[in-house]
Structure 1
């Protein structure tokens, strides 16, 4: 069988299995990404593609991820108002700083075993990864439970956006620190990239886009997502940065109806392939008693840091104990964003595969906790 036939066959099988496992996870009350990762774990035991086939599959998965994060940025952009950011700033500060600090302490203990690129980069990356809240998974959970229109849901989304911006900024610093072995000249691309993003936020772009046909608009959006991804990848950062930032920039100019026609469905259809491949990268063969103990420590620190910091920040902002507990449970969601974050760190060589396995386990456990915690913290008549 030719490589092209293998690519299409693998796409058919993996996308089908991803959908199946995602649906099974949803029936169990869990986000679909939990099932997709489980699918990747099982697929990795029986399917090992050739280098050529694996490269094509990875490129397709990356394209799906780029469109997915571009759409998340588009949806996030209009919600980043000054009033919302101000109201969520103190709770977000607690939800980011406390897990960051605890993550840094944990990373200092783990660095001798899991820091291939050096202790400093490992500590900053791990601390930032502990501070992440999965904005897309959180939005999906809130929508499923009818909480998007509630004050608690809106505050959690705004706080998640702020904490994720801080975490991605820290990741950008780590990436830049690793570029001392690469040519410096690509960094000059930051200037035109930022100028283009600034131009996309101007009223002229919204007026121009409104005059275009639907087909032209869709083409422009896919081209912008791809261009943003290419720009940050050329700079030396991950393509996900550019896609997300470009989406945020054009968020106020794009009609959601246009986005939901092709771009969002295509990204949603291909993104599960990315998370299946994430699951395949988890090496269960490295599990031993020491790694199991480290995984348990990672999960405990992640939960205590995020829930404790979010609860403390919400209480300092004047929320009642039940409201603060609900906010903490929502902010503990990691899911998609954490997995993307970890994949970037593994690709940069900041972490090794064993620590990657431990952090993926943490992301799945904390995401799986959200539903049961919400059921317990909300009144029975409030649960949709």
Structure 2
């Protein structure tokens, strides 16, 4: 009997059915966790883990392998990558300089504190964990790459998750909420830069010449995006976008997004940086026309394709494979992640005039990681920095830190059927990822 891979029509049908399963299970769990005061991303992460070997795979006959056969997984990974790139484009697009108005000094202090302390603690944790995780798929990983990656992963704050939590708790105009949003915006840009450096080091394999080449090409790419692509997009938008966005404009933007992602991959860093950078140089005006004609359709693409990313991630998470030592390491990773963010954000907040309660709320908000952390973790796997156990432990940390925030915040969330107000500064961000 022929394998599934030899029946191309059947394989495509299986992939389509898998997407349906992912959407349905993710949607159900996302709604359920709302009653536990959690953002939808927590339910979708749990769905991905539950459909993988950690839960479904434990049942007799390994249903996970039958529902998501090995032959289908590369196709699911490609679909997940498309959704991921569109999402990263939106993150770059939603970075608002206006968030920093009137609070640059405080936001800067909070951002530096909430990235410096977690990064330093991550380096120290890497020194303790490296000897047990220095080999990935038979290949040796340098301590420099492992430590830099762990430091960058500890430093991230999930800007879109944070934004949605603030909306649901009606905190967008509170001192802690506004400052957390501004600090997270700066924080994530710095954390992405750290990850880019790590990716360049890993890709260069430690060779000075290769590292120099990646650095030069990256500088050329950034200059080209700032000096050529940004004004070209601005001119194109002024010429083509009035009260509505023509379809050809949408095609050009999406093509540019994918080409930018290809360019950063070719340079030797991750495709997600290209998507983020293209979103960052996109024009923000005319805001309403772009939101209706471009932003909302792309949000729709993310809503359909991004849940596939969770199942691709969940299929590689095997909680049952963690040993007793692994459980202790997972607890240490979670503790370091929480301490780094809570202290790193709360202390600068207190020193710049906030009350201890406001500073504690600020630290709690900055500790949310969500999908952004999963993107970082998956980048670590694709770069060959994380082995399977480290991957599982980091995913659990991302889930735990995201789930920790909402129940501990002072204001109750809106009822599940009550529409949430839109944050002024986010240009239509609506999805808690």
Q: Could you tell me how far apart the structure 2 residues matched to 1:269 and 1:314 are? A: 38
Question: Which is worse superposed, 105-114 or 5-14?
Answer: 5-14
The answer as to whether partners of 1:77 and 1:248 remain within 8 angstroms in 2 is no
The answer as to whether partners of 1:218 and 1:262 remain within 8 angstroms in 2 is no
Match for residue 205 of structure 1 among 212, 233, 237 = 233
Partner of 2:17: 9
SS at the partner of 2:95?
Answer: helix
| Offset at residue 302 of structure 1 (A) | 1.2
Partner of 2:327: 292
The answer as to whether partners of 1:33 and 1:336 remain within 8 angstroms in 2 is yes
| Offset at residue 91 of structure 1 (A) | 1.1
In structure 2, list runs of 5 or more residues that go unmatched. 1-6, 58-62, 136-140, 415-419, 421-433
Change in Cα spacing, 1:78 to 1:227, as seen in structure 2 (3 Å) is farther
Query: How many residues are aligned here?
Result: 380
Change in Cα spacing, 1:143 to 1:278, as seen in structure 2 (3 Å) is same
Is structure 2 residue 274 aligned with structure 1 residue 220? no
Q: Could you tell me how far apart the structure 1 residues matched to 2:228 and 2:103 are? A: 22
Question: Which is worse superposed, 238-247 or 208-217?
Answer: 208-217
Q: Could you tell me how far apart the structure 2 residues matched to 1:29 and 1:243 are? A: 31
Structure 2 matches for 1:62-101, cutoff 5 A? 62-79=81-98, 84-101=103-120
Partner of 2:430: none
Question: Which is worse superposed, 297-306 or 250-259?
Answer: 250-259
| Offset at residue 284 of structure 1 (A) | 2.1
Larger radius of gyration, structure 1 or 2?
Answer: 2
| Offset at residue 261 of structure 1 (A) | 3.4
Match for residue 305 of structure 1 among 322, 340, 348 = 340
| Offset at residue 115 of structure 1 (A) | 2.6
| Offset at residue 176 of structure 1 (A) | 1.1
Question: Which is worse superposed, 171-180 or 209-218?
Answer: 209-218
In structure 1, list runs of 5 or more residues that go unmatched. none
The answer as to whether partners of 2:37 and 2:413 remain within 8 angstroms in 1 is no
Partner of 2:426: none
Deviations 1:166-217 (A, max 9, x none): 2211111111112235994676643553233214675563242133243122
Is structure 2 residue 399 aligned with structure 1 residue 364? yes
Partner of 2:41: 33
Is structure 2 residue 154 aligned with structure 1 residue 153? no
The answer as to whether partners of 1:33 and 1:272 remain within 8 angstroms in 2 is no
Change in Cα spacing, 1:118 to 1:216, as seen in structure 2 (3 Å) is same
SS at the partner of 1:367?
Answer: helix
SS at the partner of 2:32?
Answer: helix
The answer as to whether partners of 1:64 and 1:274 remain within 8 angstroms in 2 is yes
Q: Could you tell me how far apart the structure 2 residues matched to 1:222 and 1:27 are? A: 36
Q: Could you tell me how far apart the structure 2 residues matched to 1:319 and 1:67 are? A: 37
Change in Cα spacing, 1:337 to 1:261, as seen in structure 2 (3 Å) is closer
Change in Cα spacing, 1:321 to 1:379, as seen in structure 2 (3 Å) is farther
Q: Could you tell me how far apart the structure 2 residues matched to 1:186 and 1:380 are? A: 46
The answer as to whether partners of 2:203 and 2:269 remain within 8 angstroms in 1 is no
Q: Could you tell me how far apart the structure 2 residues matched to 1:294 and 1:191 are? A: 38
Partner of 2:381: 346
Question: Which is worse superposed, 199-208 or 72-81?
Answer: 199-208
| Offset at residue 77 of structure 1 (A) | 4.3
Deviations 1:123-168 (A, max 9, x none): 1111111111111110111121222233432211111122212221
Is structure 2 residue 346 aligned with structure 1 residue 331? no
Change in Cα spacing, 1:123 to 1:204, as seen in structure 2 (3 Å) is closer
Partner of 1:232: 264
SS at the partner of 1:368?
Answer: helix
Is structure 2 residue 303 aligned with structure 1 residue 268? yes
Q: Could you tell me how far apart the structure 2 residues matched to 1:315 and 1:281 are? A: 40
SS at the partner of 1:47?
Answer: helix
TM-score normalised by the chain length of structure 2? 0.81
Deviations 1:47-96 (A, max 9, x none): 23444421111101100011011112111145465755444000111111
Partner of 1:278: 313
